[in-house]
């Protein structure tokens, strides 16, 4: 997994962390196990949680213009994505500590490697959740209600791999909830464009997390953990094409339902988002080798850039 030409691992470093991440090289040593629990050494997950929030706030602003409070929604979502992703990952590691100990890629995580105890991890999860709650309470009532409802899929997700071949769908339900919340934080109520964006995010998650899951498919088969990577097997490319087409379609419907025919320029720009995102996903498909774990990880991480594409298009539509 790790490139031997890169810098050597440091004490406690997680196997699939970025080799020069700030946690392992700059954070105080006492804090590193906790930051590793939060995946601060692997920021791609925070991006993937944050980007649907930014899709929604930018598209919502394209319907009725930016407001001063939108700057706080943008920043608040970033803070919330960091701490709530950290809390969710800590919960995931608590529930999966025995499974993680049996998988080569994950046995170096703080709990199975003994860097922290379950009690310490639980306390850290609570601290992060409280910070997320403080951010949430600055939004309107409807957004706050959605924020509390988001806890349900977060709690369920770690167990999904035990009872369904589609745990990636549960991840999508949890990870893209921010599209509903950010839209509501701006508009004051949940509306159809946000729901279509949410659907686009879910199938996008099925796309990128299936690629990610191919890293662990052999270990998962040995210990009986289910995933779409194992379910699809050699048919993965075909299924990913379906997810790609659904992502593009749902995002286009979100743009159309948000802007209609009243803002032709804005709608034209907004429709560029799914088109450009689709081309990035095509590029990923063309480069995917499901048996090359390094390639799978690299393409999974490329979805940060893929997800930034709609942010850019929707932002321009809102400005113009």
Which domain CATH number covers 134?
1.10.357.140
Q: Specify the number of domains making up the chain.
A: 1
- The alpha carbon dihedral of 137, 138, 139, 142 has a sign of positive
The pLDDT, as a whole number, for residue 2 is 43
Q: pLDDT per residue over 178-209, tens digit each?
A: 999 999 999 999 999 999 999 999 999 999 99
Residue 15 is assigned to a structural domain of this protein: no
166 in a structural domain: yes
What's the confidence (pLDDT) of residue 9?
A: 59
Look up the pTM and report it: 0.91
Is position 9 within any domain? no
In a domain, 10, yes or no: no
CA distance 150 to 208: 21
Q: Phi/psi class of residue 31: alpha, beta or left (left: φ > 0; alpha: ψ in -120 to 50)?
A: alpha
Specify the pLDDT at position 136: 98
Least Cα distance to 300 among 229, 226, 205 occurs for 205
Instruction: Let me know if residue 257 belongs to a domain.
Output: yes
Residue 11 in any domain: the answer is no
pLDDT in tens, 21-57: 889 888 999 999 999 999 998 899 999 999 999 999 9
Q: Domain of residue 110: give its range.
A: 22-319
Q: What pLDDT, on the 0 to 100 scale, is given for residue 21?
A: 87
What is the structure's pLDDT at 1?
A: 40
SS3 content of the chain, % helix, strand, coil (to 5): 75, 0, 25
Q: Where are the alpha helices (DSSP H) in 214-302?
A: 217-223, 228-232, 236-259, 264-287, 293-301
Flag whether 3 is in a domain: no
28: left (phi over 0), alpha (psi -120 to 50) or beta: beta
Whether residue 171 lies inside any domain: the answer is: yes
In this prediction, the residues of the chain whose per-residue pLDDT falls under 50 are 1-8
């Amino acid at each position: 997994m790790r490139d031997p030409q890169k810098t050597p691992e440091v004490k406690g470093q997680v196997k699939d962390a970025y080799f020069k991440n700030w946690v392992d090289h700059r954070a105080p040593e006492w804090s590193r196990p906790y930051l590793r629990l939060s995946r601060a050494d692997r920021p791609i997950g925070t991006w993937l949680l944050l980007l649907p929030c930014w899709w929604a706030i930018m598209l919502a602003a394209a319907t009725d213009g930016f407001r001063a409070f939108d700057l706080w929604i943008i920043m608040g979502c970033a803070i919330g994505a960091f701490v709530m992703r950290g809390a969710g990952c800590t919960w995931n590691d608590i529930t999966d500590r025995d499974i993680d100990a049996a998988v080569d890629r994950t046995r170096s995580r703080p709990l199975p490697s003994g860097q922290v105890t379950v009690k310490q991890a639980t306390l850290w999860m609570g601290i992060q959740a409280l910070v997320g709650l403080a951010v949430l309470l600055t939004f309107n009532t409807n957004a706050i209600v959605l924020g509390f409802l988001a806890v349900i899929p977060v709690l369920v997700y770690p167990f999904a791999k035990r009872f369904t071949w589609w745990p990636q769908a549960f991840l999508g339900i949890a990870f893209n909830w921010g599209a509903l919340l950010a839209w509501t934080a701006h508009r004051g109520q949940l509306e159809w464009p946000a729901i279509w964006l949410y659907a686009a995010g879910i199938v996008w998650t099925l796309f990128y997390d299936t690629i990610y899951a191919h890293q662990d498919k052999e270990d998962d088969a040995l210990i009986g953990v289910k995933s779409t990577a194992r379910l699809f097997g050699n048919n993965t490319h075909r299924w990913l094409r379906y997810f790609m087409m659904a992502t593009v379609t749902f995002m286009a419907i979100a743009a159309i339902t948000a802007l209609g025919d009243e803002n032709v320029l804005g709608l034209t720009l907004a429709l560029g988002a799914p088109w450009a995102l689709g081309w990035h996903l095509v590029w990923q498909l063309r480069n995917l080798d499901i048996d090359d774990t390094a390639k799978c990880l690299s393409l999974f991480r490329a979805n940060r850039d893929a997800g930034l594409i709609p942010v850019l298009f929707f932002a321009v539509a809102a400005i113009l």
